[in-house]
Structure 1
Amino acid sequence: MTKTEYLALIEKKRTELIQIVSKNGLDSRITLEFSQELDRLLNQYNSIYYKVQVSRF
């Protein structure tokens, strides 16, 4: 997956999470699941692309 594709997927998941929260609240099970999915995507992105930037310095 390219950097652009990761960022688009992260933004899509973030938007979905906001919608889920507005419908179900912060403490619902589905909110937690979407939040964890977003966390996983962010961690994957950071492990791939952030390390590349750090190693350049």
Structure 2
Amino acid sequence: MLVYTIERKREQMLETARVYGMSSSETLKCSQELDKLLQLHLANNIRERNLNKLKIS
């Protein structure tokens, strides 16, 4: 689900950049939202990896 949301936000950001320009406030907002989603995804992956290490040990 999160990967799907990330992909949609990425597409939205690219479309916004195409329409309004790379440095527009709309594009920057999409970029910041995408960054937050990517950080969440990374944190989830790290948490899962750590849990798996605990199960193996």
Instruction: Determine if the TM-score, normalized by the shorter chain, exceeds 0.5.
Output: yes
The structure with more radius of gyration? 2
1: CA distance between counterparts of 2:46 and 2:13? 24
2: CA distance between counterparts of 1:14 and 1:27? 15
Higher relative contact order (CA 8 A, sep 6+): 1
The question of 1:37 aligning with 2:33 is answered yes
2: CA distance between counterparts of 1:43 and 1:15? 17
CA offset at residue 49 of structure 1?
1.5
One-letter identity of the residue aligned with 1:51: R
**Which residue of the other structure, out of 5, 22, 33, is the alignment partner of 1:9?**
5
Aligned length, in residue pairs = 52
State the TM-score, normalizing by the size of structure 1.
0.81
State the TM-score, normalizing by the size of structure 2.
0.81
One-letter identity of the residue aligned with 2:43: S
Q: Gaps spanning 5+ residues in structure 2: where?
A: none
